[in-house]
Chain A
């Protein structure tokens, strides 16, 4: 069975979520086709073709596809979708913007946020902020899924040699126009693929504290920085750092919750982390109910102390 994966990329490199989506696709099919739509894609086409399991890379290049506008991209994907039994995209803002639009064009009910593939037509997905897991069966002839990257292993980008096929990029519908993008400048890993995440909450008290306390600690661990909704609302951290039901869903090997009380909406975004460490001055904070290791005390003393001991205790 052949599966179509809609790649998320920035015209230069594949997003890590695409590699996990291909990992999920390999659970429903044995042959994967990947659609790359954009502009100036030579490098990313080359990388995608080297992914083992990918049989074909479909390339649609034109200026009106450069910014991933759903209005122009959806008809392109809809035109392809009927040839496959499964079409998968990452459950990122890119995939969630695009795939339902494709689905409606071909009269299919898509399945969002798939965390497990039970059979070719039956999937598990979280509802109610992850407090309930629903098992759903799709009766449509083609299954359209967005998949949670944290639930599937990424495929490597080496060893394969897929065929590359150029396709008609379609028309610019002219309904929407890209104006600008302001990405948070960071040399840290992305939240959805980081091995270690250091998240801060209201307990930090200021954006300066985020900078002075959390950032050196994150950088020492090579970690991504996250934040609770309270911290984002208070302006301590940018919106795209938010971990939780309405922000990013993460599942790193190691998650530090610093000054985060642990509202249910935050827990929804991080409780699948392998190891959770909580540092909070309130021993009754709900975060301690999910933490593997809890440390009660003043984060302003404990985090720098932890940083110092990591330097001594672990080496590089």
Chain B
């Protein structure tokens, strides 16, 4: 079974982002970038499927500008076999990404596509579900456990209030939640080996997809900062303030 995994290059999760002074966007110059953490979990799951003898090949796909090749090299170092970059300098919104991924799926014919449940930059949480809709495939979103048995995919999902298990027919889409696995630490020999793995570059035009943005971002702003109150010296003072000042009791 061929497995495809989609990875996005985002601002590293440790970076405190700042808005540009004119509110036109987030400051991305000289900011540390990394693979979206949820996509890292998706790659790890794909590689584990290969190590378990279930996946025959793992193909990593990224979409965006040239530096996304670094993100793909990380996926290759983690154990993906080859990579495809759909190179574009335009802003790619989730619907366009889903359409591009659909076109890649049609070329590659994987049985399973893994993605992170959301990217930590736009926090949209849409691409996997939209890709599933476009392909007409079932979806196992927010997965914390994936199990293949008798041609069916059993996916345990993190839902509000608990867990839910679904059985999906293949081919299928799975989006990874935080607790699906713990991604491996990539060692130097793997990083070196990844440099020799194949990485193909194609364009949205090659795939015949219109990637024009559908949502217009009018502005961005930092939310009003929350002012710290003060420290109270005792439980009695806390109770008194909650009662008389905050009036929450």
- Contact: A239 with B163, CB < 8 Å? yes
Min Cβ gap B71→A in Å is 18
CA distance A246 to B160 in the complex (A): 12
Contact with B along A82-117 (1 / 0, CB 8 A): 000000000011101111111111011111110000
Which of A96, A137, A179, A291 touches B218 (beta carbons < 8 Å)? A137
Would you call A127 and B122 a contact (CB within 8 A)?
A: yes
Q: How far, in angstroms, from A290 to B157 measured CA to CA in the complex?
A: 32
Set B126, B137, B231: member contacting A295, Cβ < 8 A = B231
- Whether A179 lies near B129 (C-beta < 8 A) is no
Contact with A along B55-73 (1 / 0, CB 8 A): 0000000000000000000
B134 CB within 8 Å of chain A: yes
Binds B, one of A21-29, A44-52, A170-178, A202-210: A170-178
| A275 and B242 within 8 A (CB) | yes
Decide: A112 and B124 in contact? CB cutoff 8 A.
Answer: yes
Cross-chain contact of B222 among A67, A131, A289, A313 (Cβ < 8 A)? A131
Report B-chain residues with C-beta under 8 Å of the C-beta of A295. Answer: 231-232, 234-235, 238
Check if A71 sits within 8 Å of B223, measured CB to CB. no
Contact status B94-A100, CB under 8 Å: yes
Tell me if A129 is interfacial: C-beta within 8 Å of chain B.
yes
Judge if A80 is at the interface, Cβ distance under 8 Å. no
Task: Indicate if the CB atoms of A293 and B98 lie closer than 8 Å.
Answer: no
Contacts of A109 in B (CB 8 A): 93-95, 214-215
Report yes or no: A71 in contact with B138, Cβ–Cβ below 8 A.
Answer: yes
Are the CB atoms of B160 and A70 closer together than 8 Å?
no
Are B162's CB and A183's CB within 8 A? yes
- CB within 8 Å of B: which A138-160 residues: 138-140
- With an 8 A cutoff between CB atoms, is A234 at the interface? no
| B123 and A112 contacting across the interface, CB-CB below 8 Å | yes
Q: Does B200 contact A (CB under 8 A)?
A: no
Chain B positions within 8 Å of A103 at CB level: 95, 126, 130, 133
Task: Say what secondary structure dominates the interface of chain B.
Answer: mixed
* CB atoms of B121 and A135 under 8 A apart: no
Interface residues on B, range: 35 or more
Interface of A, helix, strand, loop or mixed by DSSP: mixed
| Inter-subunit contact A181/B249 (CB<8 Å) | no
Nearest CB on A from B10, distance (A) = 9
Q: What CA separation (Å) do A108 and B118 show in the bound complex?
A: 18
Closest beta carbon of chain A to B163's beta carbon, Å: 5
CB-based contact B159/A175 at 8 Å: no
Q: A100-B125, A128-B11, A275-B246 are contacts. A138–B215 as well, Cβ < 8 Å?
A: yes
Give the residue name and chain of the A residue nearest to B102 (CB): A104
The 8 A CB mask of B144-166 against A (1 = contact, 0 = none) is 10000000001001111111111
Shortest Cβ distance from A4 into chain B, in angstroms?
18
Q: Is the CB of A127 within 8 A of B248?
A: no
Q: Does the CB pair B133–A101 fall under 8 Å?
A: yes
A240 within 8 A of B: yes
Q: Write the nearest CB–CB distance from B153 to chain A, whole angstroms.
A: 9
Q: Are B218 and A136 in contact, CB atoms less than 8 angstroms apart?
A: yes
Closest 5 CB pairs of A and B: A109-B214, A104-B133, A292-B229, A104-B130, A100-B129
In addition to A102-B133, A240-B162, A275-B246, 7 A-B residue pairs with Cβ atoms within 8 Å of each other are: A93-B159, A96-B125, A113-B123, A127-B220, A176-B166, A190-B161, A239-B144
Can you spell out 29 A-B residue pairs with CB atoms less than 8 angstroms apart?
A: A70-B129, A70-B139, A71-B139, A101-B130, A103-B95, A105-B133, A109-B214, A112-B124, A129-B120, A131-B16, A132-B26, A133-B223, A134-B220, A136-B216, A178-B164, A179-B154, A181-B164, A181-B165, A184-B162, A229-B178, A240-B160, A290-B228, A291-B228, A294-B229, A296-B231, A306-B235, A309-B236, A310-B239, A310-B249
